[in-house]
Amino acid sequence: MLSLLKRYRQLLLVSALLLVPLVAFLASGRRGREPNFVDRAVIALTSPLQSGLNWIIDGGIGLVNGYVDLRGVRRENDALRLENMQLRAAVQSLGEARTENERLRQLLGYTEAVPGPEIPARVVGVNPVAKLLSVRISSGEKQGVFEGMSVVTPDGIVGRVIRTTGHYADVALVTDPQSRVGVRVQRSRARGTAVGSGSGPLILENMLRTEDVENGDLIITSGTDGVYPAGMVVGRVTNLEKKEHGMFQGADIVPAVDTTKLEEVLVVGSPYGVAAQSLEGGTR
């Protein structure tokens, strides 16, 4: 726009000089006189120039206003885009907080139904060694967690504490191959042992062939292993194999807790574990 004005500045100057006396003449109040030949010539010569000048000025003003409006719209779009991103992040945070609150509410409701001491904790680490399937939790001896205590969630058992420090503890999962849990069939009260397989379902062992077990039966802890209190959920029977010969029948147990997705847990002292700790505390 500036380059256009510079290029035709002489023409514009002459046009302005011609328009000034014309405007002064028309505004002088001599409206009753008929225009003569000179007046008509001046009007004829200056009208196209005036129209062109008005077009250029109006066009320039339109361009400037359009540019300003465009910049304003772009700035507003950027602000709206940023606000949208912030709102989406806030919604995601609220959703995660709501999910966590629901888990903690379930955990709190579970603690009210569990007898004996219970210590809440978060899972803060996972053991990368495949030979020992374990996790690390954020509560240790300072919070009252000791070796041998059981770790559970509202859905079922998780594992047992195998090592403690001041503020942390390591928990061997029920899926670990060295895990052995005394269990019973909730429906028929038949007893057996749930053994970790390292991956996938647990293995039901020591279940007599004559016992009443069916696919889909709920398996709970029997309380006979000195680790888990009786009545805690372990999982459900699947792939039942009733053998025609031998003493025992075989089956798998689908764990009630997915140990690969643990976030919050509860450390519970079994009746034997609590008693042992009380005796130990009394002898110190």
Q: Is a pLDDT exceeding 50 seen at residue 40?
A: yes
pLDDT in tens, 125-148: 998 766 688 999 999 999 999 999
Which residues share a beta bridge with 219?
A: 185, 235
How confident is residue 281, by pLDDT bands cut at 50, 70 and 90?
very low
Contact 267, 145 (CB under 8 A): yes
Residue range 46-88, pLDDT digits in tens: 666 666 666 666 666 666 666 666 767 777 777 777 777 666 6
List of residues 6+ apart from 122 with CB closer than 8 A? 137, 138, 263, 264, 265
Task: Give the pLDDT confidence score for residue 62 in this predicted structure.
Answer: 65
Dump pLDDT digits (tens) for 164-197: 999 999 999 999 999 999 999 999 999 999 999 8
| pLDDT of res. 229 | 84
| Predicted confidence (pLDDT) at residue 261 exceeds the cutoff of 50 | yes
Q: Which two tokens stand for residue 188?
A: 């028929």
Report whether pLDDT(103) > 90: no
* Least confident stretch, 30-34, 61-65, 68-72, 247-251: 30-34
Distance of CA 39 to the CA centre of its chain: 82
pLDDT of residue 277: 41
Closest to 178 measured CA to CA, from 120, 122, 227: 227
Place of tokens 């978060």: 122
The tokens of 94 are what? Answer: 């609220």
Residue 119: strand pairing partners: 267
At residue 13, the 3 state secondary structure works out as: helix
The answer to whether 213 touches 207, Cβ cutoff 8 Å, is yes
Non-local (6+) Cβ contacts of 39 within 8 A are 25
The encoded tokens of residue 20 equal 């000034």
What is the pLDDT at residue 105?
A: 57
Q: Region 204-231: what's the mean pLDDT?
A: 91
160 pLDDT exceeds 50?
Answer: yes
Q: Which helix (H) or strand (E) holds 81?
A: helix 37-113
Q: In the predicted model, what is the mean pLDDT of the chain? A: 75
266: enclosing H helix or E strand: strand 264-268
What is residue 200's predicted lDDT score, i.e. its pLDDT? 82
